[in-house]
C-alpha cells in the first residue's frame, strides 16, 4: 500500500501522526487541508511530501474549470506558494511543485481543455517514478549489507517516507528478504519519535529483527562494536554533498566517523539540489517548542520552558561514505560525480 495516492478525486494519505497506535487514512480534496497535513507531519519524508504536493497541484488544477488562462495561472501560482510555505528544508516539495507548475503552463499554452486530468497523469507519473527510485535504492543498498551485519538508522526512512519501499530502510528489508541475518538498531528520534513510532512499526511489519535505542546511546552502542554500518535518509543534499536530514543525523555521522563505521546516505536523485552550493545554503526548519515540551500530549517539563527545536541538521560531506541512489552508489568526490550522474 502506498503512503500517498489519488483515489476518486481525492488525495489519500496514511496519517503518520497517529501511528503506531491507530491506522487512519486522510482523504481530502481541500488543498488547504493537504497543506496542513504536510505542516503537521501527518505526511512526512521528502519523497512522500513531494508526491503529496504534486497531487495538491492536481486539486488546484481541477478548481480552474471555467477560469480564463490568466485566472487559472494565478490560481495555480497562489496554491503553489501555499504548498511551498509548509516546510522549508526538503527539496522534493519545491521541485515537485515547480515541475507541476511548468507542466501546467505548457498545458495552458496548448489550450488543454482537460487540465485537471492532464495534471493528474503527470502527478501519477511522478509518484511512480519515486516508487521505482525507492525500489532501486533498496537493490543497490542491499548489495552493501552482508550476512550477519548490524545497521544503525535514525528517524523514519521506510515506505511511509517515500510512498513505497523506503529510502534507508528499503535495503534492510530487501536484505532480510534475501535471507541475510541482519539486525537493525533504530534511534528513537526525539522530539517527534519517528524512529520509535514509525521505523519500528515498519520494521516489525516487515519481520526485520530490530532493537530500539535512545538517541543518546548511539555512541555507546557503536563503541560496543554492535554496529557495522549506518544508513540514513536525507531531505536535501547540496551540490558538494553536504546533506540535511532529521535532527540528530549530524551527531550520528560524527560518532560513526570517530568509530570508523561506514555512513551511507540513501536518497532518490530528486533530493539532490545542484542549485544549492553547500550545506550552509540549506534552510533549516525550526518548529514549535511544544513538540519538545510535550510527548503525546503529556507535559514533560515546565509549561514555559525555553525551547530551541530544529527539525533538521546538516551533515558535512566529509562524514558521508557514499550516497545510495536509484542510479547507483556515488562515492567521493561528490560534486564531480553528481554532475556525471545527473548530467
Rounded CA separation 303/326 (Å): 45
Q: Catalytic site residues?
A: 235
Residue 157, burial from CB neighbour count under 10 angstroms (0-12, 13-18, 19+): buried
Alpha-carbon distance of 292 to 300, in angstroms, equals 8
Q: List strands edge to edge, sheet with 210-213.
A: 210-213, 183-187, 150-153, 229-233, 263-266, 322-325, 328-330
Cβ–Cβ under 8 Å, residues 118 and 112: yes
Q: Are 279 and 241 in contact (CB under 8 A)?
A: no
Of the candidates 89, 154, 32, 95, the one whose C-alpha atom is nearest the C-alpha of residue 286 is 89
HSE at residue 178, side-chain half, CA atoms within 13 A, is 18
- The C-alpha cell at 65 is 474549470
Q: List phi, psi (to 5°) of 189.
A: 75, 70
Rounded distance between C-alpha atoms, residue 67 and residue 79, angstroms: 15
* Cα angle 265, 98, 247; round to 5: 30
Is the peptide bond preceding residue 333 cis, with omega within 30 degrees of 0? yes
Of the candidates 14, 105, 15, 7, the residue with the CA atom closest to the CA atom of residue 55? 7
Residue with cell 546516505: 265
Residue 264 CA to residue 200 CA, distance in Å, equals 20
Q: Are 42 and 17 in contact (CB under 8 A)?
A: yes
Amino acid at each position: 500500500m502506498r503512503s500517498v495516492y489519488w483515489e476518486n478525486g481525492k488525495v489519500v494519505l496514511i496519517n503518520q501522526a497517529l501511528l503506531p497506535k491507530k491506522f487512519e487514512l486522510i482523504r481530502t480534496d481541500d488543498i488547504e487541508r493537504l497543506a496542513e497535513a504536510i505542516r503537521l507531519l501527518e505526511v512526512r519524508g521528502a519523497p512522500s511530501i513531494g508526491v503529496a504536493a504534486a497531487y495538491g497541484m492536481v486539486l488546484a488544477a481541477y478548481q480552474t474549470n471555467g477560469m480564463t488562462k490568466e485566472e487559472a495561472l494565478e490560481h495555480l501560482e497562489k496554491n503553489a506558494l501555499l504548498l511551498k510555505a509548509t516546510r522549508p528544508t526538503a527539496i522534493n516539495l519545491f521541485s515537485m511543485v515547480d515541475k507541476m507548475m511548468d507542466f501546467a503552463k505548457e498545458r495552458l499554452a496548448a489550450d488543454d481543455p482537460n487540465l485537471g486530468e492532464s495534471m493528474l497523469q503527470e502527478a501519477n507519473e511522478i509518484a511512480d517514478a519515486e516508487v521505482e527510485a525507492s525500489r532501486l535504492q533498496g537493490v543497490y543498498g542491499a548489495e552493501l549489507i552482508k550476512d550477519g551485519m548490524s545497521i544503525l538508522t535514525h528517524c523514519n526512512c521506510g515506505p511511509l517516507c517515500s510512498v513505497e519501499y523506503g529510502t534507508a530502510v528499503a535495503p534492510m528489508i530487501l536484505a532480510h528478504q534475501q535471507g541475510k541475518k541482519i539486525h537493525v538498531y533504530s534511534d528513537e528520534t526525539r522530539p517527534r519519535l519517528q524512529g520509535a513510532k514509525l521505523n519500528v512499526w515498519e520494521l516489525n511489519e516487515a519481520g526485520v529483527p530490530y532493537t530500539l535505542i535512545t538517541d543518546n546511546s548511539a555512541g555507546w552502542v557503536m563503541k560496543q562494536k554492535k554496529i557495522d554500518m549506518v544508513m540514513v535518509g536525507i531531505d536535501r543534499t547540496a551540490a558538494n554533498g553536504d546533506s540535511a536530514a532529521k535532527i540528530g543525523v549530524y551527531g550520528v555521522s560524527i560518532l560513526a566517523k570517530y568509530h570508523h563505521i561506514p555512513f551511507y546516505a540513501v536518497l532518490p536523485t530528486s533530493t539532490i539540489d545542484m542549485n544549492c552550493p553547500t550545506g550552509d545554503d540549506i534552510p533549516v526548519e525550526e518548529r514549535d517548542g511544544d513538540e519538545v515540551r510535550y510527548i503525546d500530549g503529556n507535559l514533560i517539563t515546565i509549561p514555559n520552558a525555553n525551547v530551541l527545536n530544529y527539525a533538521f541538521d546538516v551533515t558535512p560531506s566529509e562524514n558521508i561514505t557514499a550516497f545510495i541512489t536509484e542510479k547507483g552508489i556515488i562515492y567521493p568526490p561528490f560534486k564531480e560525480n553528481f554532475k556525471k550522474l545527473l548530467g
